[in-house]
Amino acid sequence: MFSRRMFLGAAAMLALAPVAWAEGSCGTSIEFVDTPKEAAALAKKEQKLVFVLHVSGHFEDPRFT
Amino acid sequence: MNALANPEVGKFVNEYFVSSFQKVATFKIVNGQKQGGNVASYFCAPDGRVLHCIAGPVDANTFLKEAKWVVETTKKAMKEAGDDGAKFKAFFRNAHAEKLQRETGLVVEPVTYDWSPPSEDDALQFRDPTGRPLAPKLPPPPIDGPDVKLQEKELALRQAGAAKAANTPGMPGYCTDKAGRRWNIGNQGKADQIMAAHCMSKIESIYGTVFETILGEKISTKPVEVTTPFPWRPESNLRKIKPEDLR
């Protein structure tokens, strides 16, 4: 009984907890680094291209992503 | 429309690109309504030169199609050009002109030499109050007209596709050719038209043109600021790179 109450309590806490965003993804499915300069340095090292997003709005507004 | 939240887009972008963002313009909230505000996506070489761009918000399929085009074209260009930078640039600008022709039926002459912007020391150079020159507005190459090799039905089909393409509200979704005729082009066609002359230029010389010419947004007169557009979220969310990762 005690363990069941603890389980229900933990479930309630999880439900009330704020949404945890994936690290670096800023609410998208893309991982962002801090600056384009860092992105360029990392891309050179990892033999990748660079993706730079220029925004003047909110990511969370679906019209802008 | 939330392309960047799409898992397939995320998987592809994370596999082939290292991503970052910058805030370049502002928006206002007037009576609870947002005025202004937009987005532009740039696919660049590791040295910061722009290979391709998407102007404005698009759906996940369109985004993925454009991102895959960049990766495939880069592979072909590297194979074709080897270590020759000028050849690589010419290949990419030609590829943009071919893409425009394939998607809209319109012909543009790729420019394989570089437009030189006014010098920063030029006495006539307009500057913002901080003394920094404004981002240049690059001239797009002129549209010659429709591809004469296309049958009328095929041209009509491609033009119908261009008419359906995303276009910024308030901006014309058409272009005018050398004979003064109007043709459907859409945002992506306009981006390819600009890229046919200016791709492989640095991002700071292209973003002003994309924001002002295609999206109709006034860019900030301040230099591009690396500030977060997510003020409600701690910056610690960002992926941290340790100096040893770059060695």
Residue B123, helix vs strand vs coil = coil
Query: Do residue A51 and residue B6 have CB atoms under 8 angstroms apart?
Result: no
Beta partners for B30? B33
pLDDT over 50 (residue B27): yes
- Provide the shortest C-alpha distance from residue A47 to chain B (in Å): 8
CB B93 within 8 A of CB B73: no
Contacts (Cβ under 8 Å, ≥6 apart) of B190: B55, B140, B175, B213, B214
Neighbours of B73 (CB within 10 A): 20
Cβ neighbour number for residue B114 with a 10 Å cutoff: 12
DSSP for residue B10? H
Structure tokens of B96?
A: 């943009």
Read off the amino acid at residue B62: T
Q: Which residues of B touch A58 (CB under 8 A)?
A: 37, 229-230
The CB density around residue A51, as the number of other CB atoms within 10 Å, is 25
A-B contacts (CB, under 8 Å): 199
- Minimal Cα–Cα distance from B59 to chain A, Å? 8
Q: HSE (CB half, 13 Å, CA atoms) of B215?
A: 28
Strands B17-23 and A49-55, sheet pairing:
parallel
Q: Which of A50, A62, A3 is nearest to B2 (CA)?
A: A62
Tally of CB atoms within 10 A around B168: 18
pLDDT for the residue B229: 52
| B-interface mutation test, from A52, A60, A63, most B Cβ less than 10 A away | A52
Lookup: tokens for B160: 């119908």
List the one residue out of B179, B110, B174 whose CA is nearest residue B140.
B110
CA B182 – CA B184 distance, rounded (Å):
7
Say if B37 is an interface residue toward chain A (CB within 8 Å). Answer: yes
- Candidates A25, A38, A53: best to mutate against B (most CBs of B within 10 A) is A53
- Residue B48 binned pLDDT confidence (cut-offs 50, 70, 90): confident
| Distance set, CA B6 to CA A25, B13, B16, B81, B143 (Å) | 12, 11, 16, 34, 34
- For residue B18, what pLDDT is reported? 95
B10, exposed or middle or buried, with CB in 10 Å at 0-12, 13-18, 19+? Answer: buried
Longest dimension (CA), chain A: 58
- The token pair that represents B189 in the structure block: 């066609």
Q: Residue B38: its pLDDT value, please?
A: 78
| Average pLDDT of span B132-156 | 83
Nearest chain B CA: its distance from A61 CA (Å): 8
Q: In the predicted model, what is the mean pLDDT of residues B214-224? A: 63
B112: exposed, middle or buried (Cβ count in 10 Å: 0-12, 13-18, 19+):
middle
Verify whether the Cβ–Cβ distance B4 to A48 is below 8 Å. no
**pLDDT tens for residues B62-115?**
999 999 999 999 999 999 998 898 999 999 999 999 999 999 999 999 988 776
Distance from the A19 Cα atom to the nearest Cα atom in chain B, whole angstroms: 11
Query: What local confidence, expressed as pLDDT, does residue B4 receive?
Result: 85
The 10s digit of each residue's pLDDT in A39-58 is: 999 999 999 999 999 887 65
Closest CA to B215 of B58, B97, B70, B96: B58
Q: Is A29 on the interface with B (CB under 8 A)?
A: yes
